Amino acid sequence: MTEIHELSAVQLRDFLRSGELSAREATAHYLARIESGNRLLGAFVTVTGGQAMADAAAADAKFARLRRAASSGDVSETLPLLHGMPVGFKDLTDVAGVVTTHGSAALDHKPALTDGALVTELKGAGVVSLGKTQVPEFGLTAYSENRIAPPSRNPHAPSRSSGGSSGGSAAAVAAGMLPFAPGTDGGGSVRIPAAACGLVGLKPGRGVVASGESSGDPARLVAAGPLARSAADAALMMDALAAGPDETYSEAVGHEPGPLRIGVTLDSPWSTTFPFTIGPEALDALRTGTKLLEHAGHRSSEAAVRYDNRYPDAFTTAWTAAVGSARITPHREALLAPLTRTFRRRAQQRSAAKLNEALAFLRQFQRDTITQYGQWDLMLMPTLAQTPRPVGWFTGAAHGDDRWPAAEWAGDADGDYRKQCEYAPWSSMVNVCGLPAITIPVHWTGGGPGQGLPMGIQLVGPAGSERLLLQVAAQLGF
């Protein structure tokens, strides 16, 4: 018999809406999964089981009330789209009554007074929040390790990282602790952990999911998107995040796209500043993805993209601007991780003119890059240049010691940052350009699905191509 966590998110949604499963049954099952698996994986920082069961009971009461009303002919109110669906929220996002740590020991950890916009959106769609998932400090890094809770680990190899900054959410979905989860992506923070954990991860284009944007993001890099086990499950969450008057994402994902011209590239705007080596596993994933796309009827050709070598400095300036203005009392700054402390100091020393200059450059970079990408319908590249990295690898934690608490992290912030840019060299420019992108888990280092480590491809589309990207992922069997 199929276990609840083995159901796809779409199947679980159908069971909940039909009454075959109650919200309390689904919530209790996933809470038990967290109880049994979280000690190893560190996916959740805070579990709000009592509130989750109360919210599930309220969802069941609403279901019963609407069923009684429908039986008497009253259909004025219907169940919300994601009625009773369990989710977790990154610990960068406020959930009323729950502490938001931002992954930092330097902040006072007080319960949030109100829900953040993304939480409000999804609660309005009927979800039940099970708690807060692990993140890096202020969401700055491609790994989810900090000084307040154990690191988030990869369910496919617990000695490896689940990625970041949506690492806890990705680990939870991949381990069956959640059916799917919302993430936020300002430089790869949905796509990196999705690829590391063998999931589909969609970063929508700029402005598509208004509730996922941030006022403290001067370059408008951040977008909210789904982490899911399939394109259909990702489409279901997108229907809650970005409902519109046109065809739903779930309807669109059932249609096969026509033949597409796909540009295949390994070019990166980081390669001049941080020359990197592409691992054979990443090249294997790219070859596999290319073959799958060609078998599906698409045409691929090599795409040479020229990037301005001023990009790394400008992106880093914009990416770290918010941490410079974070409200941290001077006597607690020593509690920041070395990378955060270093980039905070540099942001504070940087003039407003320097930031404005960087933002102006990034706008020109966006125009230039989109023009080059416009020669193809979609751009194809590996999602990551290397396999998921060992826990502690980026920070040099006690020469590879991954124990927590991470008091012995090396202070080499620049080495840490360089490793991240070499690990995920094809992520951040997509955020700068405001384009949608999807990662698809096409390759496993052990030879088959679930064997060894997952490796993904990334497809980048023009503005408004979120449905197309989901269609292609579904067409490839994901």
Token pair of 300 as six digits: 């691929």
Span between the terminal Cα atoms of the chain, in Å: 23
Residue whose C-alpha is closest to residue 170's, from 188, 151, 191, 186: 191
Residue whose C-alpha is closest to residue 116's, from 97, 93, 141, 138: 93
CA torsion 20-24-29-35 (nearest 10°) is 170
Element containing residue 250 per DSSP (H, E)? helix 249-252
Rg (CA), the chain: 21
How many whole angstroms separate alpha carbon 365 and alpha carbon 411? 32
Residue whose C-alpha is closest to residue 469's, from 189, 231, 188: 231
Give 200's strand partners. Answer: 228
- CA 322 to chain centroid: 19
Helix ranges (DSSP H) in 19-48: 23-41
Token pair of 393 as six digits: 């690898």
Collapse the DSSP code of 376 into the 3-class scheme (helix H, G, I; strand E, B; otherwise coil) and give the result. Answer: coil
Report whether the peptide linkage leading into residue 165 is cis, meaning its omega lies within 30 degrees of zero: yes
How many whole angstroms separate alpha carbon 359 and alpha carbon 364? 9
- Residues assigned a catalytic role: 90, 165, 189
Q: Which residues contact 215 (CB under 8 A, 6 or more apart)?
A: none
DSSP 94-155: --BTSB--TT-TTS---BBSS--HHHHHHHHTT-EEEEEE---GGG-SSS---SSSPPPEET
How many whole angstroms separate alpha carbon 388 and alpha carbon 42? 16
CB count in 10 Å sphere of residue 202:
32
Residue whose C-alpha is closest to residue 348's, from 323, 318, 329: 323
Collapse the DSSP code of 75 into the 3-class scheme (helix H, G, I; strand E, B; otherwise coil) and give the result. Answer: coil
Phi-psi region of 436 (alpha: psi -120 to 50; beta: other; left: phi over 0): beta
**Cβ(390)–Cβ(400) below 8 Å:** yes
How many whole angstroms separate alpha carbon 419 and alpha carbon 408? 18
How many whole angstroms separate alpha carbon 30 and alpha carbon 32? 5
